[in-house]
Amino acid sequence: MNSEKGAEKEHVLSKRLSKIIQTRIENDRETLEALKQLSTFYSENTLQARRNLRSQIEKRSLDINKEFLSSFLEVKQSFDSVYSDVAEMSESIKEMTKRLQNSKTQTKQLLQQTSALQREREQSIAQQNILKSLLSKFQLSPEDLLVLQGNKKDILITHEIFSVLDKVQKIHSDCKILMQSGLQTLALDIMEQMTLYQEGALERLYRWTQNHCRNVENQDLTELITESMRRLEDRPVLFKYVIDEYCIGRRSKITDEFVNALTRGGPSGNPAPIEMRAHDSQIYVTDMLVWLNKAIVIEKQNLCLLLKKCRDSGTDALIKDSLAIICEGICQPLKMRIEKILIVPTQASILYSIVNLLRYYKKCICKLVGTGLVEETLTDLQERSEKAFFSTLQQQVDKKLVRVEAPPRDLSPTLAITNLLATLRDMLSTSNMSEGREGDMMKITHCILEPLLRAVNEQASRLPPTDMAVYMLNCMYEIYTCLSLYEFMDERLERLEAQSDAQTDTLTSEQASSLVANLNLGPIYTILQDRSHGPLSAVPGMEPSNLRNFLEKLDYLTAHPDSILLPQINLLTSSKHKKAVQKRSFDVLLAIYKQLYQAVHDPVNNYENPQLIFHKSPEELEKVLL
């Protein structure tokens, strides 16, 4: 047992020694501090010093405690002094609290009275502020009234009046809030007062605008006038009076300017008066219509400037109606001068130019002015000019066709017909660029062609059938060539083609008859049509020798196809007509030749060696002739 205990102690001691040996003193801060303090009084490591170490440490600890006790004594004395002062202050505070309590009790009634007075003062201030706000919100200041009403009738209008009117309108609208708050009487009184102010200001604004509206192009007044018109728009009667006054003034001015432009010209004669060019009808009418168009554009710009701040609805119609009124004064002098031109005998081409000028400027001007006296005047002038033009053109055509000439030897159109076609060509070229070109071209064509075709028929009726057909075809060809250059002529061209085909048929018949006669085909064709006889070889006139004579003439024809053509065929102007007549007449010849060829080759007719009679088949002959 003792040996086990001894071993256990040695084991514990061994563990402690191992722990001490393994301990790293450099990481133990407390141990390092203790050793540092120990080094201050443990200087020599002797046996005697180690024996006295404990007593030295205890002594040093006792000295430190004594120093701490001495220092803390001074702190205690300081705290005792502070405690004494605090106790005295506490007594003083208690005394003061007691005195304040007594004072509070004595002044409680005074404080209550003061609070009541303070509340009354705050209520009075609040009521005063409300009253000031009400007056500033629902009443006009003297300055505003002066701006709105002025101090005399014709006081100059300034931009401030519009701000005051806006304020009046706002007050009038805000009165609805008062009515909703239960202050109906006050709201109605204020609204009535504001309405009187507003009506008075608008009446003053109306008088000023009516006097100055004609000067809308004046930059110093433009903004005032346009803003005034916007305000007056809510008063339709006053607004209309201003527009009427403006139109009356501008109508008088533009009429005077038009008359001056006609008779006096511009400043210092530049540009020259329009009437100085009255000898040239086309230029004269052009200058007047150009001046009118420019003047209307300027007037429209001034009206747009006058109404630029007004609402868009109805403004366009109002501008058109106003322009129609402004331009009424120009209608009479314009109409009088153009009517004089239409009365005087003038060339049809000049009258047609005037017609187109009136159409074009009527379209331009009526887009600006709409319906009214201006449109009626231009429409009337246009109708009169059209009537004068067609009347003059008819007279010009009748004058050229008053005497029916005999066709020339070459059967070409006469000089009168050529001149009329040149006139027609010029007229159609001009009308092709006009506004109502389709109607004009049809009327002009009818006006010239109908008497022309009657004259051609009358001339042709005096000629033999062949000459008549050639002359008619030449005239039709010239007319067709003239009309084919222009649109809307399809119906006329079809009619001319039909008439040309009829004359071509006539000429073909004459040419075919001539061919049959020259080739002595008449008896042969008659025999071929008669089916009552026996074999053709036995019929007199159908002998092979007689047929060879016919074929020799036919060979000569194929070698010289123009030799037996009618002389008139070469007088055809159109190669197309010439080829058509040749083809159709040769078709007749080929038809007879084919019938004869088949008859000769038919065994029934008892011809020996028919191939020796006919050297060409119908197909070969067709290739040679056509």
Amino acid of residue 618: P
Going by pLDDT thresholds of 50, 70 and 90, the confidence category of residue 168 is confident
pLDDT grade for 606, boundaries at 50, 70 and 90? confident
Which pairs with CB-CB distance under 8 Å and at least 24 residues apart come from 177-182?
A: 178/138
- What are 591-597's contacts with CB under 8 Å, separation 24+? 592/516, 592/521, 592/524, 592/525, 592/528, 593/554, 593/618, 593/621, 594/618, 595/528, 596/524, 596/528, 596/547
**DSSP track, 104-172:** HHHHHHHHHHHHHHHHHHHHHHHHHHHHHHHHHHHS--HHHHHHHH-SSTTPPP-THHHHHHHHHHHHH
> By the 8 A CB rule, do 325 and 251 touch?
yes
Distance (Å, whole) CA 313 – CA 332: 33
CA-to-CA dists, residue 280 to 286, 350, 389, 539, angstroms:
10, 9, 16, 84
- Helix axis angle, 437-460 to 415-431, nearest 10°: 170
The total number of residues written for the chain in this structure = 626
| Sign of the C-alpha dihedral computed for residues 562, 568, 571 and 573 taken in this order | negative
| pLDDT of residue 154 exceeding 80 | no
Domain boundaries along the sequence of the chain = 54-126, 143-231, 233-392, 419-488, 512-625
SS3 of residue 451 by DSSP: helix
Q: How many CB atoms lie within 10 A of CB 39?
A: 9
Residue whose pair of structure tokens reads 């009748």 in the numeric block? 398
Average pLDDT of the residues in 518-545: 75
Comparing 529 with 322, which gets the higher pLDDT?
Answer: 322
pLDDT (mean) for 501-525: 83
28, pLDDT greater than 80: no
Q: Which CATH class is domain 512-625?
A: mainly alpha
Average pLDDT over residues 186-208: 76
Least confident span in 15-29, 301-315, 369-383, 402-416: 15-29
| Residue 431 near residue 352, CB atoms below 8 Å | yes
**Model confidence pLDDT, tens digit, residues 227-262:** 778 878 888 888 888 888 888 888 888 898 889 888
How buried is residue 427: exposed, middle or buried, by Cβ count under 10 Å (0-12/13-18/19+)?
Answer: buried
CA distance linking residue 148 with residue 347, whole number of Å = 67
Q: Residues 549-593: pLDDT tens digits? A: 778 777 777 777 666 678 888 888 888 888 888 888 888 888 888
Kindly list the distances between the CA atom of residue 480 and the CA atoms of 433, 438, 452, 495, in Å, as whole numbers in the listed order.
Answer: 21, 18, 13, 10
pLDDT value for 130: 64
**Nearest of 364, 371, 333, 340 to residue 251 by alpha carbon:** 333
Helix and strand totals (H; E) in the chain: 22, 0
**Given a cut of 60, is residue 3 above it in pLDDT?**
no
Give the model confidence (pLDDT) of 536-556 as tens digits. Answer: 777 777 777 787 777 877 777
Q: What is the average per-residue pLDDT within 511-540?
A: 76
